[in-house]
């Protein structure tokens, strides 16, 4: 596929938007990567878009793992188990995704966006409480650790949720942090800070495995993905700085409405391709 200079520029801008939203609200922003590539950058091949965004999201997540490792916000053992079994789900998801017609895939993705937007709107942001309690202060405080739970069922839950999260990530080509963090909280019984940091291991791995699978099928635009990452770095820095002066819970709800609106638009646009 031939890419114009203008599309390369729009790719950087899209990366800035995604990175800015992630830095501003702390999660959920990567779901905008797919509609931005399709409707803003103008890449109309859904499978090509999914493979490209998966690579960008995977690289970005692995870059961010380092800072969480320094803060000791990563549970390597839990992350490894969740990720290894999640890769099984990713491989199943990508296989089904590649054989699903692009229009149908976008239609299903639009409903996922609406569900996620609604979930973000009605649920309390547990990572926002420290920002809202002290306006202008972005200091992060650890949650009190939960007592560890061990046993066969505890390990099985982690494996099952890993496969399910991996499948969703592979099928739709999304980062899945909004799925992986709750899954880790439920299946591993770890603190919110640990869940967020640990989730990046899975998000990064799932993204790279998805990109590899799509790349084998010739469905990845590497230059576009790298420009996305580049724009995301600058956007994330700006969003993080602005978030320290604003109420994150309010921003989260506002952003959730944007996700819902974009989801509705995608459903309307892709409806004809399905029916």
* pLDDT value of residue 126: 53
Q: What is the pTM of this model?
A: 0.82
What is d(CA 38, CA 44) in angstroms, rounded to the nearest whole number? 5
Positive or negative: CA dihedral 248, 122, 156, 31: negative
What is d(CA 115, CA 109) in angstroms, rounded to the nearest whole number? 10
* Contact in structure between 187 and 106 (CB atoms under 8 Å): no
DSSP conformation letters of 22-84: HHHHSSSGGGGHHHIIIIII----HHHHHHHHHHHHHHHHHHHHHHHHHTT---HHHHHHHHH
* pLDDT value of residue 66: 81
What is d(CA 266, CA 275) in angstroms, rounded to the nearest whole number? 14
* Contact in structure between 86 and 206 (CB atoms under 8 Å): yes
* pLDDT value of residue 49: 93
pLDDT above 70 as % of the chain: 84
What is d(CA 20, CA 106) in angstroms, rounded to the nearest whole number? 24
The b/e string for 70-104 (b: 16+ C-beta within 10 A; e otherwise) is: eeebbbeebbebbbebbbebbbebbeebbeeebbe
Positive or negative: CA dihedral 46, 48, 49, 53: positive
User: Could you tell me which residues come within 8 angstroms of residue 187 by beta carbon, excluding any fewer than 6 positions away?
Assistant: 82, 154, 157, 158, 160, 161, 162
Q: pLDDT of the chain along its 275 residues, tens only?
A: 788 999 999 999 999 988 887 777 666 667 888 999 999 999 999 999 999 999 998 888 888 888 788 888 889 999 999 999 999 999 999 999 999 999 999 999 999 889 888 887 887 655 454 434 433 334 444 444 444 445 666 778 899 999 999 999 999 887 666 778 888 888 887 887 788 888 888 988 999 999 999 999 999 999 999 999 999 888 888 877 776 676 767 777 888 888 899 999 999 988 877 77
* pLDDT value of residue 143: 45
Domain ranges of the chain: 5-274
What is d(CA 27, CA 187) in angstroms, rounded to the nearest whole number? 20
Tokens coding 26:
């702390």
* Contact in structure between 26 and 248 (CB atoms under 8 Å): yes
User: Could you tell me which residues come within 8 angstroms of residue 202 by beta carbon, excluding any fewer than 6 positions away?
Assistant: 79, 82, 83, 86, 162, 165, 166, 176, 180
Distance from the first to the final alpha carbon of the chain: 27
């Amino acid at each position: 596929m031939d890419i114009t200079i203008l599309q390369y520029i729009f790719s950087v801008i899209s990366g800035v938007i995604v990175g800015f939203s992630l830095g501003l609200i702390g999660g959920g922003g990567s779901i905008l990567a797919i509609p931005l590539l399709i409707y803003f950058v103008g890449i109309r091949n859904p499978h090509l878009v999914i493979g490209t965004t998966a690579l960008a999201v995977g690289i970005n997540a692995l870059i961010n793992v380092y800072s969480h490792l320094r803060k000791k916000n990563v549970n390597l053992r839990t992350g490894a188990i969740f990720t290894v079994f999640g890769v099984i789900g990713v491989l199943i998801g990508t296989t089904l995704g590649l054989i699903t017609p692009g229009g149908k895939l976008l239609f299903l993705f639009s409903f996922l966006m609406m569900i996620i937007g609604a979930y973000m709107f009605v649920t309390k942001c547990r990572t926002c409480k420290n920002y809202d309690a002290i306006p202008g202060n972005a200091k992060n405080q650890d949650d009190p650790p939960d007592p560890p739970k061990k046993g066969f069922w505890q390990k099985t839950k982690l494996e099952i949720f890993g496969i399910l999260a991996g499948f969703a990530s592979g099928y739709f080509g999304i980062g899945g942090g909004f799925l992986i963090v709750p899954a880790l909280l439920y299946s591993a019984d770890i603190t919110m800070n640990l869940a967020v940091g640990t989730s990046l291991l899975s998000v990064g791995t799932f993204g790279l495995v998805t990109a590899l699978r799509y790349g084998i099928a010739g469905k990845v635009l590497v230059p576009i993905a790298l420009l996305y990452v580049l724009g995301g770095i600058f956007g994330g820095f700006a969003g993080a700085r602005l978030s320290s002066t604003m109420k994150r819970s309010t921003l989260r709800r506002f952003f959730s409405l944007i996700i819902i609106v974009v989801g509705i638009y995608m459903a309307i646009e892709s409806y004809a391709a399905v029916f």
